[in-house]
């Protein structure tokens, strides 16, 4: 036996070698080996998720939906098409007598699945004035209808197709978030600074409570996939990880706290920055978080999905790169958490918070009792994105979904104010390059004890 | 007296020193010192030119009109707005009680007039989903109406405003051509290779007549502005230029002729290329004219405004850079003409040919008796774009129209199949960087005698 | 208590919480808190290490020593100066009445210590024809003499200076390796392909023994600093890490094995590559390891420090990037080891192998009984370079030595054929960007069990 | 007959059509059709020119001679080798039983003659630590000796070889200048700012006399090759060019005058700059001439071949780009001359001035009676580098000497303080890209009358 520290029981418990071995064998993507969602439930979710994506685009003009503001961001129209192509390719194409909606779409809407075939290069997604937005909506309707028929008629190998439909839904939810961050980036480039939506409710602008740190005992702890719900392949297998004792901040860092760093010349002090960060600062001429603007003497504004608004000091700071998060932590005498530290702390918390469904589309001040593990902003961790011990990517093209990005990326945890609540969980691993800023990414501090 | 060779009379004629001095003083832009167009005529032209621009956009969707395919090209929506802003800025703003249609448009739609104020950088014109296409059409209507009212009411200083309206019309015609070449470039990037219009009539695909050379005697000859019609500042002053005897090809080079160069490894033989051309070939991996594609064994297609079509061997070759035109000429044992050689030959020809009004939007084979000086393709000259002797740019912001580009550009002459016929004349000087290919630019050969 | 698996005893052993806590507090750099080297021993090593660096440069002309072949590589003259500046700055400058050898050298020879002051940018090291090589040798002599005098006279605070001298020696050994890899890169750019040295002895070119895998049981295991010898800060603190069972290849991958991958179109199959790797391949047009050349039909040569030599199939493959190592492993149905897996396997092995002192300066075929953990080539691991749990960087400028590079780098283990044997140990963590190829870096495979 | 204005006689003179035709046929390079230099004279010049090059390198260390500070500049060692290769290739190789000094040198020391064979890319000239400087000197000695023997023994076809040796001497003189400007650039990159030589004599620092303008009547005038002396192919053929009346500044613009432009915010006023110039200023962050530094409150220094020296206000301004020269001229209410205007004014002047032989290696203040047409600084003209009417490049590889650069370059006239006096003449056409600054290039103003 190997012992581990069970944080809930606050004592050691033995782990059998059998369990260790077992976790290493549990390699399937999504639910493929797990109890499946009932057809009726899947049908309900399909209708709901597809409609939710379209609802997010309801106010976009054809032009809004067609433009690409940078290679990392995609036009809304492309998101609408790509999520549809994903279902068509991984579900409908497996059926007999399959006919593609359009022979060209496999090229246009494949993102990066080399095993499927050649595809449009990423930075050319904004060159597609055709197909029109209307044609893409037509594509969506046809594919959604085909999926519903498939579910109802029970055509095809359900053991394969059922899990793939579920995967397609999680994939589409992922793109709901990207669609919003991409629109925000596009609108931010427009000198008119248009608003995607009306401002949400005003939050009490009182200062955040003093930052506290909660100590965790560590030990030999389970990390990764929990229970029977859907997870991505990169959350598998559940495995043991040894953690020394550590402490985590009890809320996210606020704009007010980050402003102290700015005013203390945080951006000009190389001793606070990673070497790559120093280079990035100077090449990109960065001195503030993305979307911040000076609005006068000691006064700041930030571009939001509701247009340019005064910076609320008690909101969590957002749209910072890993380099900025890391430098802030060093300046604050702390560090960023590892992903295991974060997950261990979040594992027993309810998934609740300022997520997409709150309708705020902006981080909001912490409320009494909240720890902000879920929602508001993704939290940068000091962990590079890497396979879990025993990880084996899914066979075929779906193996490209996550595995090939396991280099030069940092893991982020916890979801943001534009993450659908069904999409997030404690074991969820998001990842972006350390210089990335257009996602809603913020800062939670950690410390050694 | 100084004598010069009068080609029409085929003998020398004296030029008085007075005339030389006079040309050097004739520095005004457009018609400012010339007999003005009558108000009624100007009104008719205003209505016609503005409508023509809009007619060219009739089939464009809001998405087609919003995208930018490269920094050199602008979205159609931007052309629609910029040509309107030009009138608003240089004509309406001079009026008392002027109010701008929108305070933001001066920033969005100013192209490069630094004296007017700051402006959007060129490569960001494709980031404007707002204002919408509909709003830009509204802008056009309001400004056109204000201009018509101004003409009718005779408000303002007509000696200044009349010539500026005329300038604005020529400016807008210039953008009609750019609008089409930019749309062609955008559509060519789209893997769907959409067509802007239906194919035109099919031309007799018989081979072009053998290329001949017409000898010109040269002499001390007048170059630049002729007569009283509108000209741009860069066509002034009319001045004398001495030309040694030379010969010019009697038609444009065809696709068939250019294919011989390609098949003779023309692109791989550095001795045929300028040094900068060799570097450009290798950096850009160029081995064919822009828009050409191999369509099978010894078979070629070209993307056109009517979509992808088989290459017609007897059409003039088009969409080549100066480097390609120059290398072709060297391969053919000839050279490119200077702009003075070209102008001297074209000066006494009628402005007739395959211009915008032919509705072809593609170069077409030469017809018996034609020399193709006007229309079909612009013709690269070996002359760098430079001020004429005695040139003085107009005062104020309009001095930026042409003068500040007099470096690193080659002159092109003669107009193309998308140039409005009212816009072209023998003295017209177009200019682009030597690596430029998205304009309809082709080749006429020259030789020493 | 927490239990861990002791591989030597092949059973579990308890680890006291005290020991865990203790390791977390042991944060000093080098030996600062450890029993110190005796003065006499330090003096002997100082003389030996300084002389060894100079011996490596004995055959270099002033020109060889001055050129910089790429921003990542430094001229030999700069290495000679920089290692001397390191002693001057961190040891001699702490003495009363210190006078710098030259006021300019702090700017020229500071590599990246921002806390010390401004410094020459990295890619400008090859612009220094002055100071001459002779002047830099003079600089070396003076500083070495001052250090020897300091050691003998016992001046200064020995508790600080003694460990810093030892650190300086390890720093200089690190640069001995870089000096050789940088010279190799420089000579490889020269079309004359000059040799730095005569070829070493010829190795039996028989095929390598079949690759086997040795299984390791894993468990909760100590990682990092062992015993009392010198270590860098990034090897600290010793800490526990849980490893699932795994297997490691019993030798390095050979050129012959890698050639099979090449011939199987390994470089053209995107499913084998990380996404960043695919991009790198295409941007850099990579299709072979660095320094390989086709030498005829199915015949290969490689540039070495002894000039261009036929590729020996049974030598370990070398000068591959992380991307290539990772793709090879995937093609071979295996993966790269984590750094903990590697260290756990190497921890109880003697530090023996083809290191700098063998004088080969090239990897050589495995010999019976050898596992090649130390020497021949560095071994890419799948671990991103990150701080160990509880790591705290040294205070002051020495904190910049290692800590600020903990992003976008992969860890390599085991030393190479140009690593001084005193410099390497099981816990040693080297790190380079995943695209790096000019170091002697190769491949060991790992597998799940 | 055609008449032209003879400025010397101040009246018109007829030019026969025969003469016009004749100039168009006179296409040979150098003296190939001209009376040749006597063998004895050629021998004397060969010895003198080769020795002069080596004398310029006498104080350079092997390291000084090996480094390359930017792609446009070459190491001194490369200049020494390349000028030797030129003789070997174009003279010695034509002899029976020719054996190259080294088979590799054709690759290393060919600059850009594609017809000769492949060659090292320009930006890799600084990667050649081998051959050593000593080996290159050995190469020089051997080739010089072979040339002397050839001249004495009268081997080979003297009608071909004699002119080629003369061409080789002019080629080597051209490289003497480049060698000095390249060393200056290299030393300027070194933070030690070393001096190539001791400062020259101090010049009376009194202010320059007020700038005057001398009027030229213009007319139909001869341009290009004069008399029987050596000229490059690009100076041919002599031809007629019509010039309107113009005026030229009677001396070069001084540092003091240029400083007024700087203080008047000349660098920040876009209306003064060409469009490409504005882009260049902002991309390169330019606000002063190359080598200028602020040395305190309203005090300036400039890096020279004698190290960093206070800026002498009455020295001609130097190391400015075409963009800066053009902007200065516009600011001063003037313009730059065309090359024909310059040549017509200089054609009847003696070649005298501050050239290489003065030993100053820096521009110096104008002296009474001087017009500074020759020496001090090259003078930017507004003429793009283009073939003269009737120009035909020499056959074979020597056709690459000048012709392939006739695009994107501006012509400079008059030579500089580091041009050998034998090398310059009124018809000499130097050419560099408009952004070039490391040559000794300055400003003479022109005006319309």
What's the mean pLDDT when you consider all of chain C? 92
Contact between D191 and C108 using a beta-carbon 8 Å cutoff:
yes
Residue for token pair 């010539």: B163
Encoding tokens for residue B396? 């104020």
Interatomic CA distance for residues D106 and D116, integer angstroms: 9
Contact between C270 and A405 using a beta-carbon 8 Å cutoff:
no
Q: Which residue in D254, D284, D270, D253 sits closest to D435, CA to CA?
A: D284
Encoding tokens for residue D232? 């490059």
Interatomic CA distance for residues C318 and C181, integer angstroms: 12
Residues 6+ apart with CB under 8 A from A332: A253, A257, A261, A445
The answer on pLDDT for B305 being more than 60 is yes
The answer on pLDDT for A27 being more than 80 is no
> From the list C239, C271, C392, which residue is nearest A115 (CB)?
C271
Task: Report DSSP letters for B239-256, one per residue.
Answer: EEEEE--EEEESSPPBHH
Interatomic CA distance for residues A258 and A320, integer angstroms: 10
In chain C, how long is the greatest CA-to-CA distance?
Answer: 67
Half-sphere exposure of residue C12: CA atoms within 13 angstroms, side-chain side: 17
For residue A441, the tally of other CB atoms under 10 A from its CB is: 28
Predicted confidence at residue B155, as pLDDT, reads 76
Q: What letter does residue B225 receive in the DSSP assignment?
A: -
Encoding tokens for residue C234? 């990034």
Sheet holding B292-296, edge to edge: B292-296, B299-304, B307-310
Residue burial D324-336, b: 16+ Cβ < 10 Å; e: rest: bbbbbbbbbebbb
Encoding tokens for residue B131? 């204002």
Residue burial B297-325, b: 16+ Cβ < 10 Å; e: rest: eeebbbbbbebebebbbbbbbbbbbbbbb
Distances (CA, A) of C28 to A54, C34, C393: 57, 9, 8
Contact between D275 and B112 using a beta-carbon 8 Å cutoff:
yes
Q: Do chains D and C touch (3 or more CB pairs under 8 A)?
A: yes
Interatomic CA distance for residues C334 and C261, integer angstroms: 13
For residue D310, the tally of other CB atoms under 10 A from its CB is: 11
Interatomic CA distance for residues D65 and B307, integer angstroms: 58
Predicted confidence at residue A201, as pLDDT, reads 75
Q: What is the percent of chain A with per-residue pLDDT over 90, rounded to a whole number?
A: 83
The answer on pLDDT for C38 being more than 90 is no
Q: What is the percent of chain C with per-residue pLDDT over 90, rounded to a whole number?
A: 83
Q: What letter does residue D320 receive in the DSSP assignment?
A: -
Encoding tokens for residue B9? 């009379």
Mean pLDDT score, A407-412: 98
Contact C408, A408 (CB under 8 A): yes
- Is the link from the previous residue into C139 a cis peptide, with omega within 30 of 0? no
Note the pLDDT tens digit of each residue in C70-126.
Answer: 999 999 999 999 999 999 999 999 888 899 999 999 999 999 999 899 999 999 999
Residue numbers in D near C64 (CB within 8 A):
129-130
CA of B323 to nearest chain A CA: how many angstroms apart? 27
Mean pLDDT score, A333-339: 98
Q: Which residue in C397, C26, C392 sits closest to A333, CA to CA?
A: C392
Interatomic CA distance for residues D85 and D79, integer angstroms: 10
Residue numbers in B near A132 (CB within 8 A):
61, 63
Contact between C2 and A12 using a beta-carbon 8 Å cutoff:
yes
Contact B384, D339 (CB under 8 A): no
Q: Do chains B and D touch (3 or more CB pairs under 8 A)?
A: yes
> From the list D64, D127, D131, which residue is nearest C189 (CB)?
D127
The answer on pLDDT for A25 being more than 60 is no
Interatomic CA distance for residues B218 and B245, integer angstroms: 5
> Pairing relation of β-strands A2-6 and B292-296?
unpaired
Q: Which residue in D42, D31, D44, D45 sits closest to D160, CA to CA?
A: D31
- Between these two residues, D201 and B275, which has the higher pLDDT value? B275
**Helix (H) or strand (E) run with residue B304 in it:** strand B299-304
Q: Helices (DSSP H) in D91-201: which residue ranges?
A: 105-109, 133-153, 158-189
10-residue averages of pLDDT along chain D (449 residues):
51 52 41 64 96 97 98 98 98 92 97 93 97 98 96 85 95 98 98 92 82 96 91 96 97 98 97 97 97 92 97 97 98 98 95 96 95 98 97 92 96 98 97 98 96
Predicted confidence at residue C10, as pLDDT, reads 60
Contact C289, C300 (CB under 8 A): no
Contact between D132 and C61 using a beta-carbon 8 Å cutoff:
yes
If DSSP codes are grouped into helix, strand and coil, which group holds residue A410?
A: strand
> From the list C239, C244, C335, which residue is nearest A244 (CB)?
C239
Residue for token pair 């205007």: D341
Note the pLDDT tens digit of each residue in C377-396.
Answer: 999 999 999 999 999 999 89
Contact between A270 and C5 using a beta-carbon 8 Å cutoff:
no
Give the residues across from B222 on adjacent strands.
B240
Residue burial D375-407, b: 16+ Cβ < 10 Å; e: rest: bbbbbbbbbbbbbbbbbbbbeebbbbbbbbbbb
Q: What are the φ/ψ torsions at residue A248 (nearest 5 degrees)?
A: -120, 145
Q: Do chains B and C touch (3 or more CB pairs under 8 A)?
A: no
Interface confidence (ipTM) of the complex: 0.93
Interatomic CA distance for residues D218 and B106, integer angstroms: 45
C-beta contacts of A152-159 below 8 A and 24+ residues apart: A152/A39, A152/A43, A154/A39, A155/A95, A156/A94, A156/A95, A157/A94, A158/A36, A159/A32, A159/A36
- Between these two residues, A21 and C150, which has the higher pLDDT value? C150
> From the list C4, C24, C244, which residue is nearest A244 (CB)?
C24
Q: What are the φ/ψ torsions at residue B354 (nearest 5 degrees)?
A: -80, 80
Provide the terminal-to-terminal Cα distance of chain A, rounded to the nearest Å: 28
Note the pLDDT tens digit of each residue in C187-239.
Answer: 999 999 999 998 877 776 688 999 999 999 999 999 999 888 999 999 999 99
Provide the terminal-to-terminal Cα distance of chain B, rounded to the nearest Å: 28
Mutate to test the interface with C, among D123, D127, D137 (most CBs of C within 10 A): D127
The answer on pLDDT for A264 being more than 50 is yes
CA angle C177, C178, C180 (to 5 degrees): 70
Interatomic CA distance for residues B109 and C379, integer angstroms: 57
Interatomic CA distance for residues A145 and C428, integer angstroms: 59
Q: Which residue in A174, A191, A195, A175 sits closest to A362, CA to CA?
A: A195
Mean pLDDT score, A275-283: 97
C-beta contacts of A141-150 below 8 A and 24+ residues apart: A142/A101, A143/A84, A143/A87, A143/A88, A143/A92, A143/A101, A144/A46, A144/A47, A144/A50, A144/A84, A146/A92, A147/A46, A147/A87, A147/A91, A147/A92, A148/A43, A148/A46, A148/A47, A150/A91, A150/A92, A150/A95
Residue burial A296-319, b: 16+ Cβ < 10 Å; e: rest: eeeebbbbbbebebebbbbbbbbb
**Entry field: residues in chain B:** 449
Residues 6+ apart with CB under 8 A from D50: D140, D144, D172
Dihedral over Cα of C116, C117, C122, C126: its sign:
negative
- Between these two residues, C312 and C297, which has the higher pLDDT value? C312
Contact A147, A47 (CB under 8 A): no
Predicted confidence at residue B19, as pLDDT, reads 43
Interatomic CA distance for residues A342 and B152, integer angstroms: 74
Residue for token pair 């040694």: B244
Give the residues across from B3 on adjacent strands.
B14
Contact between C278 and A389 using a beta-carbon 8 Å cutoff:
no
Region of A359 please: left (phi>0), alpha (psi -120 to 50) or beta: left
Q: Which residue in A59, A289, A248, A43 sits closest to A151, CA to CA?
A: A43
Q: What are the φ/ψ torsions at residue A380 (nearest 5 degrees)?
A: -65, 135
Residue numbers in B near A308 (CB within 8 A):
none
């Amino acid at each position: 036996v190997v012992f581990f520290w069970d944080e809930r029981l606050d004592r050691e418990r033995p782990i059998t070698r059998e369990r260790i071995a077992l976790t290493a064998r549990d390699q399937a993507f999504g639910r493929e080996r797990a109890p499946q969602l009932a057809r009726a439930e899947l049908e309900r979710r399909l209708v709901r998720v597809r409609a939710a994506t379209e609802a997010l685009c309801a106010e976009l003009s054809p032009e809004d939906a067609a433009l690409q503001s940078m290679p990392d961001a995609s036009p809304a129209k492309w998101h609408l098409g790509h999520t549809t192509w994903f279902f068509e390719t991984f579900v409908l194409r497996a059926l007999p007598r399959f006919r593609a909606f359009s022979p060209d779409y496999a090229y246009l809407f494949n993102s990066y699945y080399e095993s499927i075939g050649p595809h449009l290069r990423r930075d050319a997604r904004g060159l597609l004035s055709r197909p029109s937005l209307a044609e893409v909506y037509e594509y969506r309707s046809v594919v959604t209808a085909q999926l519903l028929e498939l579910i109802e008629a029970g055509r095809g190998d359900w053991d394969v197709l059922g899990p793939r439909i579920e995967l397609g839904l999680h994939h589409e939810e992922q793109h709901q978030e990207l669609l919003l961050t991409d629109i925000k980036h596009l609108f931010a480039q427009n000198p008119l600074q248009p608003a995607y939506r009306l401002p949400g409710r005003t939050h009490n602008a009182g200062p955040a409570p003093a930052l506290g740190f909660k100590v965790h005992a560590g030990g030999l702890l389970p990390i990764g996939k929990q229970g029977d719900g859907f997870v991505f392949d990169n959350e598998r297998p559940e495995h043991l990880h040894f953690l020394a004792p550590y402490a985590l901040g009890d809320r996210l860092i606020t704009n007010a706290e980050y402003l102290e760093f700015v005013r203390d010349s945080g951006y000009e002090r190389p001793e606070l920055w990673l070497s790559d960060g120093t280079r990035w600062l100077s090449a990109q001429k960065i001195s503030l978080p993305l979307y911040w603007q000076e609005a006068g003497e000691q006064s700041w504004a930030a571009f939001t999905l509701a247009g340019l608004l005064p910076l609320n000091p008690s909101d969590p700071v957002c749209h910072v790169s890993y380099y900025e998060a890391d430098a802030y932590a060093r300046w604050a005498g702390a560090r960023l958490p590892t992903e295991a530290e974060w997950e261990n702390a979040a594992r027993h918390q309810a998934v609740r918070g300022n997520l997409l469904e709150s309708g705020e589309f902006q981080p909001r001040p912490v409320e009494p009792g909240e720890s902000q593990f879920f929602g508001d902003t993704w939290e940068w961790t000091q962990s590079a994105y890497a396979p879990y011990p025993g990880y084996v990517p899914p066979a075929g093209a779906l193996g490209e979904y996550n595995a090939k990005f396991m280099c030069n990326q940092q893991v982020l945890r916890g979801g943001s104010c534009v993450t659908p609540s069904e999409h997030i969980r404690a074991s969820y691993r998001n990842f972006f390059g350390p210089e990335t800023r257009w996602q809603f990414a913020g800062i939670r501090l950690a410390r050694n004890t």
